[in-house]
Amino acid sequence: MVMGKPGWCQIIETDVLVVGGGFGGLWASLRAAQCGSSVTLVDKSFAGKSGHSYFAGGAMMALLPGEDPDQYLYDIALGNEWLVDQEMVAAVFATSYDRMKDLERFGINFRMKGGEYVWTKARGTQHVKNLWPEGATGADEVTLLRKVALSSGVNVINHIYIYDLAKDERGRVCGALGIGVKDNQEFLFRARSTILATNSGSYRGHHLACELQGTGPFMAYDAGALIQNPEFHYINIRPIKHEIEGSGILPAIGARWKNAKGVPFMKAYDPMLEDRAPVYKIVVAAAKEASRGHAPIFIDVEGMNEEQREQFRILQVSHGWMPLLFQKCEREEGYNPLQNNIEWQPAYESNKLGLRCDRNGQTSLEGLFAAGMARALGINPFTGWSITSCTWSGYIAGESAATFAINTVREDVDWTILDEKRKLFFEPLKTKGGHDPDALVHEVQRILFPAGVLILMSESRLQEALERVMHLKNERLDCIRASDVRELIKAKETQTMVLSAEMTLRASLMRKETRENIFYREDYPRCDNENWLKWIMVEKGKNGDIKFSKENIPFKKYKFQPDRDNLIISQSIIV
């Protein structure tokens, strides 16, 4: 590593730079180091101890020996309403068992009984199995991955916020600009290849990791990269009072969703999967029930038997942060989440856009790779899919970035563009009497979070929301203020949220159809395979505007193909 201070920043040189310390980033850094590269992993908080990965339940999809990979592929393709890269899905499952065994070698054991792995069926699928770590959660998994990465020689640097990408004089991505969250130290990370492994972005919703806003895809967009799936979101359903993981596993072991009348309602919305339907379909169903006066909505834990409750306790409440929460519910609120029915409501977590990548994790920009939620990994957030797909994407991106680094000659940074990016980032510090970033975020939330905007969508409500976002962008965003580095980071994240809001509303207006598992338009209630078996792509226009395009999904090279009229697959499969 070469370090220097040419004026305003400290330079750190590395073969591979990884931005983000969750599953995707840790696997990427570990694999790149295994391939012989010098690797620097940067996290704005503490790698392996923060972000969505740290709060994950720990379940992992795995294709066990002897299982039919076509059944897994079909389930994921169907659950994504066919708008997913089937070759990517097949690749994820092809190595899922190997990565699970890697975790076991590192020290995470998965539950077994009678010599067989204990599993539950993944929400929204007919065949896919989730394996559960023994006495551990996602927090234990990423904490261990951090230790393994450090022992493999990865240079982990915490509390550095990466705010933009750097390019060399040939236009290749060659690292990133960052600033110390605690000490204000400025950094330039020079790398032969760069991996973005941040989250995909959010609006500080209801989830435990709501404060962790992933700006990676938007940095890449600003540099010219393609973004895919801007119209989709991960909207979960959670208790009103407390964060409790369980909307996926509780129905898998016997609980049912009921409305205020005590009526189980999911069979009317998904006759096959019922309460195990994809989470978006459950959210839409709950919103419809509420609009008909059938709120509050709850998950009927009172109807579970003690054996089912004990199964949940073993998988979710015997370790990690959940026992503390359950104790607090009983101590301070006077109820037991496994014995008393409580109200649940839709909870925004993150958008589902991601950087367009090939199977090796290469984005549309030379020298830039993506892993984890920063890349497009599908739309439906099946239980266990996030950990498995982030693991695969990190592993393959680390390997590809290391190969790219070996074959790349380092060029000088384009200092002119770098200076412009730096000045733009620091601009809010010069604004006097401007708008508070938190106030603008709250306004974005008031625009987007009502159920009639991103859940039960319609032309009029989407258009009204877009007009309000554009007013925010044109009248207030340029005057955003910051008094210190932490507010400066908030300002950058707020600018990203407004950009993301505009992207998603415009793309949602474009997609004039409904796909029940992932996208619902009240004014276009039918699936339109003739016109909308397509991906929406986004790139930055020459004048700085958002440029949208549609791309046909290449079904001719995929195993399964939907019927253009009624979603009947053209190949048979055992269901």
Q: What angle do CA 505, 24, 216 make, to 5 degrees?
A: 40
CATH label, 242-341, candidates 3.90.700.10, 3.30.200.20, 3.30.420.40, 3.40.50.450: 3.90.700.10
The reported pLDDT for the residue numbered 6 is 59
Dist. CA 245–CA 384, nearest whole Å: 13
**What pLDDT does 313 receive?**
87
Residues 63 and 97 sit within 8 Å (Cβ to Cβ): yes
Element (H, E) at 41: strand 39-43
For 548, the enclosing helix (H) or strand (E) is: strand 546-552
Could you tell me if 325 and 244 are in contact, meaning their C-beta atoms sit under 8 angstroms apart?
yes
Residue 136: per-residue pLDDT: 87
How confident is the model over 454-464, as pLDDT tens digits? 999 999 999 99
Domain ranges of the chain: 242-341, 418-533
Q: What is the Cα–Cα distance from 80 to 354, expressed in whole angstroms?
A: 15
Torsion angle (degrees, nearest 10) of CA 283, 445, 25, 538? 90
Question: 298 pairs with which residues across the strands?
Answer: 258, 343
User: What pLDDT does 210 receive?
Assistant: 62
Taken as a whole, the chain contains a residue count of: 575
Do residues 53 and 417 make contact, with C-beta atoms less than 8 angstroms apart?
no
Spatial separation of the C-alpha atoms in residues 52 and 49, rounded to whole Å: 10
Closest CA to 291 of 58, 461, 406, 447: 461
Report the alpha-carbon distance of residue 35 to residue 68 in Å, rounded. Answer: 31
Q: Report residues of the chain scoring pLDDT below 50.
A: 1-5, 566-575
Q: What is the C-alpha separation between 370 and 77, in angstroms, rounded?
A: 22
pLDDT at position 240: 86
Q: How far is 129 from 418, CA to CA, in rounded Å?
A: 47
Please tell me the distance from the alpha carbon of residue 21 to that of residue 29, in angstroms, as a whole number.
Answer: 9
**Using an 8 Å Cβ cutoff, are 465 and 505 in contact?**
yes
Give the helix ranges, DSSP H, for 261-384: 279-291, 306-312, 322-328
The residues that bridge with 530 in the sheet, in sequence order, are none
pLDDT at 333: 87
Residue 569 has a pLDDT of 40
Q: How far is CA 50 from CA 28, 256, 389, in A?
A: 17, 32, 19
Provide the token pair at 443: 């306004």
Inter-residue contact 178 to 12 (CB < 8 Å): no
Sheet hosting strand 343-351, strand order edge to edge: 233-239, 343-351, 297-299, 257-258
Chain-centroid distance of CA 34 in Å reads 26
Residues 366-401 have pLDDT tens digits of 999 999 999 999 999 888 999 999 999 999 999 999
Peptide bond into 65 cis (omega under 30): no
pTM over 0.85: yes
- Residue 209 has φ and ψ, to the nearest 5°, of -95, 30
pLDDT at 235: 87
Which two three-digit tokens encode residue 383?
């239980």
Residue with tokens 């974005």: 444
Question: From residue 33, how far is each of 14, 16, 45, 197, 518 by CA, in Å?
Answer: 11, 9, 22, 16, 37
Query: Which has the closest alpha carbon to 393: 1, 17, 27?
Result: 27
Residue 299 β-bridge partners: 257
Contacts of 440 (CB under 8 A, 6+ apart): 472, 476, 477, 480, 494, 498
Place of tokens 């300002």: 491
Q: What is the pLDDT of residue 343?
A: 93
Give the Cα separation of 53 and 333 in Å (integer). 28
Query: Is residue 435 within 8 Å of residue 479, measured between CB atoms?
Result: yes
What is residue 69's predicted lDDT score, i.e. its pLDDT?
97
Q: Phi, psi (5° rounding) for residue 257?
A: -80, 130
Structural contact between residues 176 and 356, judged by C-beta atoms closer than 8 angstroms:
no
CATH number of 418-533: 1.20.58.100
